[in-house]
Amino acid sequence: MLKRLEAKGFVSRKPDPHDARAKLVFLTKKGHTHQLLLWRNSEQLRRRIWECLPKQDRATVANGLRRIATEMQQLKSELEP
């Protein structure tokens, strides 16, 4: 996938100055432009999906998602060396 993104000009790879074995990946100007477009389109989709829920259900869903995010952060910190 990374090769395809690079071939289409969305990302570039550069050597990691701290690790000769690694490459760092950066969004190009074209990549940034497409990322913004994708974000705007996905924002419209998220808003439309969110608005299909009754208001009282939105709070329940939001609280549930926050709890999941908190738990995921906790698990991540437990797994890190």
19: helix, strand or coil = strand
Phi and psi angles of residue 35, each rounded to the nearest 5 degrees, phi first = -60, -45
In the chain, where the domains are located: 2-79
Provide the CA 62 distance to its chain's centre, in angstroms: 18
Q: pTM of the prediction?
A: 0.54
The first and second tokens of residue 76, run together, are: 């991540």
CATH 1.10.10.10 fits 2-79, yes or no: yes
pLDDT, residue 81, reads: 72
Chunked mean pLDDT (size 10), the chain, 81 residues: 96 95 96 95 90 92 96 92 72
Q: What is the pLDDT of residue 35?
A: 95
pLDDT in the model for residue 80: 81
